[in-house]
Amino acid sequence: MQVDDEGYTQKLSKVEITLADCLACSGCITSAESVLITAQSQDELLKVFAENNSKKQNDPANAKLIIITVSIQPILSLSARYDLTPNECAGRLSGYFKSLGADIVVDMTIAEDFALLENEREFIKRYRTRESDNVKNILPMLASSCPGWVCYAEKTHGSYILPYISTTKSPQQIMGSLIKNWVGTKQDVYHVTVMPCYDKKLEAAREDFFNQNTQSRDVDCVITSNDSRMPNGVKRPPGFSVTSVGISSCAANPSRNPNCSSGLG
């Protein structure tokens, strides 16, 4: 119902929201979204860990290299929640994932730096192109690493706004490209990111980031700090035994740096 300034009420038409309007936020769960979240969840990750740990013992040739990339936002959120320093929280998260079977745990820093550099280069290129060729529809350049915003812009404004959106990948997807192209082969690496929001699950599942030739995604699984078991890696329960292990910052080339071979910083 809507009430106008004079106090009269008017019954509004029924609002219909389709799956095409879904931004994959955590506000509600549809049947289709529940499938997405099941495939992008800590339960799925634990299943992968269990299967891979078994292969390491019985069939090491077919075991995958599991790499975890941790964004800074979940580290800060969990450190504030459990009264830890960011470094201590990062170390506990790293130790937690390694205790489950992760081979390498890295942070997102280098991908964030690449994203800033690429956005800078793209803006300069657009600016010079407009000045020299008098090309329209290239400025202002809109940049966002939030997949919810990008999804909203695509679905509500379409071709009008798309030319203005930066073509640079988000840090999550840049990290996926780095890891899948620099460490082993794409099929041998299982890449997990720990991110601050559910929209990142939707981003990782986009067809844009699926390689048909290798049948592999840049990011195989996304979990958030809200996933039910994540706090177990950082809080201080009685008998807490997970060892704090430093996160590697050698993500650009972990396979060729001896300090990164085990994922230790």
Cα gap 214→196, rounded to integer Å? 28
32-111+171-260 placed in CATH 3.40.50.1780: yes
Query: Which residues does residue 67 pair with via DSSP β-bridges, in sequence order?
Result: 104, 191
Cα gap 227→63, rounded to integer Å? 26
Question: Within its chain, how far is the Cα of 143 from the centroid?
Answer: 17
255 contacts 180 by C-beta, under 8 angstroms = no
Query: Which residues does residue 223 pair with via DSSP β-bridges, in sequence order?
Result: 194
Here the contacts of 203-208 (C-beta below 8 Å, separation 24 or greater) are: 203/147, 203/170, 203/172, 203/173, 204/40, 204/172, 204/173, 204/176, 205/36, 205/39, 205/40, 206/147
pLDDT of residue 243: 53
pLDDT of residue 102: 92
pLDDT of residue 236: 53
pLDDT of residue 159: 81
3-state secondary structure the chain: CEECCCCCEECCCCCCCCHHHCCCCCCCCCHHHHHHHHHCCHHHHHHHHHHHHHHHHHCHHHCCEEEEEECHHHHHHHHHHCCCCHHHHHHHHHHHHHHHCCCEEEECHHHHHHHHHHHHHHHHHHHHHHHHHCCCCCCCCECCCCHHHHHHHHHHHHHHCHHHECCCCCHHHHHHHHHHHHCCCHHHEEEEEEECCCHHHHHHCCHHHEECCCCEECCCEEEECCCCCHHHHCCCCCCCCCCCCCEECCCCCHHHCHHHCCCEC
Tens place of pLDDT per residue across the chain (265 aa): 667 777 778 777 765 655 455 555 545 544 555 555 566 777 888 898 999 999 999 998 889 999 999 999 888 988 888 888 888 888 888 888 898 899 999 999 999 999 999 999 999 999 888 877 777 778 889 888 788 788 778 777 778 888 888 888 899 999 998 888 887 665 688 999 999 887 888 788 777 787 776 677 888 889 887 764 555 555 554 333 445 555 655 433 434 343 343 333 3
Query: Domain segments of the chain: what residues?
Result: 32-111+171-260, 115-164
